[in-house]
């Protein structure tokens, strides 16, 4: 579904393609879509005076849910309006350890329709329950599979005429594997799989590729060289939206610029929900969203990524709830407004157009 010109016919055509414009297909004599060389509606309108949004879909990613929750039904109560408002809501790795129908129903009620299982503790019984429950619910799962056939089945969803593909990988060896008999399940790993090849395949069969990356080491407040290297490799291969997991703290979000002119929305880590750390900043993470827009300018049509947003949330460990700004008070967390502002400033330090959602 994505098309790229392999040969540019003239320097003028090259210039047009650099701005996301249509260029004639040298074989078919028709137009070929070049995917969002500009990543905002405003930027696109500066190139084209008259534009029209033909269709759009919003994608939201939530940080991994680590640790037990006393009452899972209440965990997403206060943030569910943000989750359900998104067309696609993806829950991060290590989030489902033993997904009984009760817990899966909680995810469905909150508004999640996709789950990355990369990094989930790989106990055989838990995995079987998890996969069976998710399969029954209709929630798209990636990262852990029941067989090679299951793994090779590309997960896609069509939302408002835009086709999204879902991939999930774990980076690094997993010690828990030693406890599980061989052949019980299949895990997608960066080392064992051709990450770039899988992304290119998914890119060729979809409009937008959503990638979840689970890292097995924690790097502190900022992504380390391994995280940035793997994310850059994935972006160059064709990933459009990247959500990273495993880090205990929030990391800055970033637009990754690829050699073909795309801008890839990247959230290296959104923190853990609820957090395992005892430090206050470990308890503040959030969710990130991005809107995919199909923009028409005359006869041309282009997909762009626009309106990057960050929803700050506090993990109230006492009650097992995830609280956005609208549910906060000084009784819950003294000085919460400053804590939230610090988190929002930190998340947006590499992304000047990141909007903070405070209502």
pLDDT > 90: percent of the chain: 40
Q: How sure is the predictor about 21, in pLDDT bands with cuts at 50, 70 and 90?
A: very low
Beta-bridge partner residues of 288: 61, 310
Q: Is the pLDDT of residue 79 over 60?
A: yes
Of residues 66 and 268, more confidence is placed in 268
Segment 184-206 mean pLDDT: 81
Dist CA 207 CA 164 (whole Å): 6
Of how many residues is the chain composed? Answer: 359
Burial class (CB within 10 angstroms; exposed 0-12, middle 13-18, buried 19+) of 38 = buried
In order of 37, 95, 297, the CA distances from 43 in angstroms are 10, 37, 13
Q: What is the pLDDT of residue 33?
A: 43
pLDDT at 69 over 60: no
Q: Could you read off the pLDDT of 200-216 as tens digits, one per residue?
A: 999 999 999 999 998 76
pLDDT of 292 reads 96
Task: Rank 29-38, 85-94, 121-130 by mean pLDDT and report only the highest.
Answer: 85-94
Answer for the pair 104, 134: CB distance below 8 angstroms, yes or no: yes
Report which of residues 72 and 308 the model is more confident about.
308
How many other C-beta atoms lie within 10 A of the C-beta of residue 173?
A: 12
% of the chain beyond a pLDDT of 70: 69
pLDDT in tens, 298-334: 777 889 999 999 999 988 877 778 899 999 999 988 9
pLDDT, tens digit (0-9, with 9 covering 90-100), for 176-185: 444 445 556 6
Fold type of domain 41-357: Purple Acid Phosphatase; chain A, domain 2 (3.60.21)
What's the pLDDT at 47?
57
**pLDDT higher than threshold 50 for residue 277:** no
Cα separation, 230 vs 216, in Å, equals 13
Domain definitions of the chain by residue range: 1-34, 41-357
Residue 151 has a pLDDT of 87
Cα of first residue to Cα of last residue in the chain, in angstroms, is 37
Mean pLDDT of 54-66: 87
Per-residue pLDDT at 11: 35
User: Is 30 exposed, middle or buried, given 0-12, 13-18 or 19+ CB atoms closer than 10 A?
Assistant: exposed
Average pLDDT over residues 252-268: 94
74 or 244: whose pLDDT is higher?
244
Mean pLDDT of 213-230: 82
Q: What is the 3-state secondary structure (H, E, C) of 261-323?
A: CCEEEEECCECECCCCCCCHHHHEEEEEEEEEEEEEECCEEEEEEEEEEEEEEEEECCCCEEE
pTM of the model: 0.84
The mean pLDDT of 151-173, rounded to a whole number, is: 89
């Amino acid at each position: 579904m994505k098309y790229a010109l392999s040969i540019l016919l003239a320097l003028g055509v090259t210039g047009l393609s650099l701005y996301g414009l249509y260029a004639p297909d040298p074989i078919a004599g028709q137009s070929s879509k070049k995917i969002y060389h500009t990543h905002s509606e405003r930027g696109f309108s500066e190139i084209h005076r008259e534009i029209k949004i033909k269709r759009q879909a919003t994608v939201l990613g939530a940080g991994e849910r680590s640790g037990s929750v006393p009452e899972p039904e209440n965990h997403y109560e206060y943030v569910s309006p943000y989750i359900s408002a998104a067309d696609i809501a993806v829950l991060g790795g290590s989030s489902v350890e033993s997904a009984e129908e009760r817990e899966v129903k909680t995810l469905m009620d909150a508004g999640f329709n996709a789950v990355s299982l990369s990094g989930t503790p790989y106990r055989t019984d838990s995995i079987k329950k998890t996969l069976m429950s998710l399969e029954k619910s209709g929630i798209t799962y990636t990262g852990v599979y029941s067989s090679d056939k299951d793994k090779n089945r590309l997960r896609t969803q069509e939302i408002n005429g835009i086709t999204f593909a879902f991939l999930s990988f774990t980076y690094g060896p997993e010690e828990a594997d030693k406890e599980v008999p061989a052949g019980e399940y299949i895990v997608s790993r960066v080392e064992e799989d051709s990450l770039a090849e899988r992304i290119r395949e998914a890119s060729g069969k979809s409009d937008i590729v959503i990638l979840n990356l689970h890292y097995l080491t924690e790097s502190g407040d900022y992504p380390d060289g391994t995280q940035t290297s793997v994310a850059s490799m994935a972006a160059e291969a064709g990933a459009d939206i990247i959500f990273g997991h495993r880090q205990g703290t929030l990391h800055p979000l970033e637009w990754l610029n690829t050699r073909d002119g795309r801008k890839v929305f990247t959230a290296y880590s959104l923190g853990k929900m609820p957090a395992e750390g005892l430090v206050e900043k470990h308890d503040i993470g959030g969710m990130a969203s991005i809107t995919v827009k199909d923009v028409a300018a005359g006869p041309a049509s282009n997909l762009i990524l626009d309106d990057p947003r960050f929803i700050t949330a506090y993990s109230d460990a006492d009650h097992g709830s995830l609280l956005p700004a609208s549910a906060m008070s000084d009784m819950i967390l003294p000085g919460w407004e400053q804590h939230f502002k610090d988190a929002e400033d930190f998340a947006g330090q590499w992304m000047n157009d990141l909007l903070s959602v405070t209502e």
